[in-house]
Amino acid sequence: IARQLPPMFRALSWTLRGLHCSSIPLSTRMFSERADKSRSLADKVAVITGSTKGIGFAIARHLAQNGAHVVICSRKQWNVDQAVATLQKEGLSVTGTVCHVGKAEDRDRLVAKALEHHKGIDFLVCVAGVNPLVGSTLGASEQVWDKILGVNVKAPALLLGQLLPHMENRGGGSVVLVSSVAAYMPISKLGVYNTSKTALLGLCKSLAVELAPKGIRVNSIVPGIIKTDFIQMEKTLSYTPSDLNKIYGLQRLGEPEDCAGIVSFLCSSDASYITGENITVAGYSPKL
């Protein structure tokens, strides 16, 4: 009967017959595909800064759940120990170390820790940042400028420079910088912080062009107001959580997990043709 059909329908008939006659049930194939997807980062190695709480911790968990070996860090040993213990209890591959990303010796220790346990690095996710200091932009001291720009902008670039040879040895990789919606919608009294997060958008673009020939993709995410320790600062500013709910189209504040999925995607092969993008994760705001 199939031979009597027009060519287009004949091909469809044979395709459907092949699906029907397959020795592997459709439900089994679908489950297998989902299982493969859940291990999309298998045997990859990710270094994540500022990853013992909030957005960084959610990203670490998500990447590890997708099969990656994760190296986390924080300024406080107790936070590192707590985060590592939590993730290891979930059966995830994770190690950690103390690291203040603004200090060269700490960055050296982080790189050494990663290479001690793994042969190379595939992903770098830079979440660590200085808690914003409330005050006017022009009234900020030189020390404040140096501290915020040093940690939020300079440190990611310097750390990537240290990891670059090890990423090249793996044939490429992915870098994700975590900026902030404050880059687009400056928050009153946080001028230096706003500026640092805007600078990250430019750093993303510059690094993407520079590293593309090496097979290393660089993107950034731009979170809106996420339910982390940072939101406590909103109580001291002109915005309240109730006000912020009105800003976002989804009528809610973000969860750390809202950022984790997009970072995992950007690290995966599904995003192999995406670089130099600043991706907003803010529940839609008409002001952006």
What tens digit of pLDDT does each residue of 161-211 get?
Answer: 999 999 999 999 999 999 999 999 888 889 999 999 999 999 999 999 999
Amino acid at 91: G
Length of the chain: 288
Q: Is 273 among the catalytic positions?
A: no
Return mean pLDDT, the chain: 86
State the pLDDT at residue 40.
86
The encoded tokens of residue 55 equal 């957005």
State the pLDDT at residue 14.
44
Mean pLDDT of 36-62: 91
CA distance 167 to 216: 8
The encoded tokens of residue 48 equal 């994540």
Amino acid at 39: R
DSSP string over 2-23: GGGS-HHHHHHHHHHHHHHH-S
Domains of the chain by start residue, with CATH: 42-281 (3.40.50.720)
State the pLDDT at residue 18.
45
List pLDDT tens digits, range 219-275: 999 998 888 876 665 554 555 656 666 666 676 778 999 999 999 999 999 999 999
Catalytic residue among 184, 193, 239, 273: 193
State the pLDDT at residue 283.
85
